[in-house]
Structure 1
């Protein structure tokens, strides 16, 4: 684990897209992801995202992609998207080498402040693969509530990966940012 004291946090630009894609892929897919605890390699093969998806997110006027950098190294990212009544949190990735040192907590808190203070939204929502009990528990410890609402996994859409099992689905988690 790399100790990161005070990473630089900033908004992404289009020029950051290739590094963001590499970070997200390394945190969730393939053997490199197994160095951290956020891997989905036992659930999904294939890609997690690509340059077109990340470019669209960075360019979207209703979205903000936040980066954390340690010097020249991109070590974490997340997306906050304005969805009318709430903020949606996604594309969250921390470099496997930087996991376990509190960076994820700090970036999540920065995303929540952005959603509340800059976007004026009182609620943050996200979806997490239901089978990721460890990840859901991590979010619950940060004040998120399991809603019990499930969304189907998009089987057959390779943009979301190639499932290794047939029972995947997403659970919606929510947090009140006003309290």
Structure 2
């Protein structure tokens, strides 16, 4: 297998995920959002959702899907963040974003988001970035708003009953679409 193209920004290396990355990425994503380990960072969903955030099959689907990329972000050879980019016509979708809890709050997430926006503009000519965020995550939505995203009010129901998305701890969960023009 040929190595994936890499982009180096400062001390960070951005590259496309491969099959060999699946176990590391599942662990990274889980650590950022679920369980006690996630409480070290500020992006935890542990009070909203129990169970899993993703699984190996879900990560493989993103890696293998046409028009989709899963970026791995490494520092000193270790995966510290990841994000999904999906080509959707004139827009791109940003998802599966995770930053290792111990690395949160130091600008890493901001750097990953900026590189994702740059990549979809350069590679796909995307004019907008779209994402969905659980609507009650006010702190997370405010973080995205400070980076130019706007709430649209467009809501999608949370998939209650589908344990692949976690075990809801409250009855009012839904996803809100956030959008940013990429100029």
Q: TM-score range by the shorter chain?
A: over 0.9
Larger CA deviation: 57-66 vs 45-54: 57-66
Unaligned runs of 5+ in 1: none
Distance 2:98 2:113 in 1: 10
Residue of structure 1 equivalent to 2:157: 152
Asked if 2 retains the 8 angstrom alpha-carbon contact of 1:81 and 1:88, the reply is yes
Give the alignment of 1:7-22 within 5 angstroms: 7-22=12-27
The structural deviation recorded for 1:13 is 1.0
Distance 1:90 1:39 in 2: 15
The structural deviation recorded for 1:134 is 0.2
Distance 1:93 1:62 in 2: 20
Give a deviation string over 1:16-56, Cα, whole Å, max 9, x none.
Answer: 11111000000000000000000000000000000001001
Asked if 1 retains the 8 angstrom alpha-carbon contact of 2:90 and 2:125, the reply is no
Residue of structure 2 equivalent to 1:114: 119
Residue of structure 2 equivalent to 1:38: 43
Give the alignment of 1:8-157 within 5 angstroms: 8-157=13-162
Larger CA deviation: 66-75 vs 135-144: 66-75
Distance 1:120 1:64 in 2: 15
TM-score (norm 1): 0.95
Query: Number of aligned pairs?
Result: 174
Residue of structure 2 equivalent to 1:173: 178
TM-score (norm 2): 0.93
Larger CA deviation: 76-85 vs 133-142: 76-85
RMSD value over aligned CA atoms? 0.9
Asked if 2 retains the 8 angstrom alpha-carbon contact of 1:25 and 1:49, the reply is yes
Distance 1:132 1:43 in 2: 9
Unaligned runs of 5+ in 2: 1-9
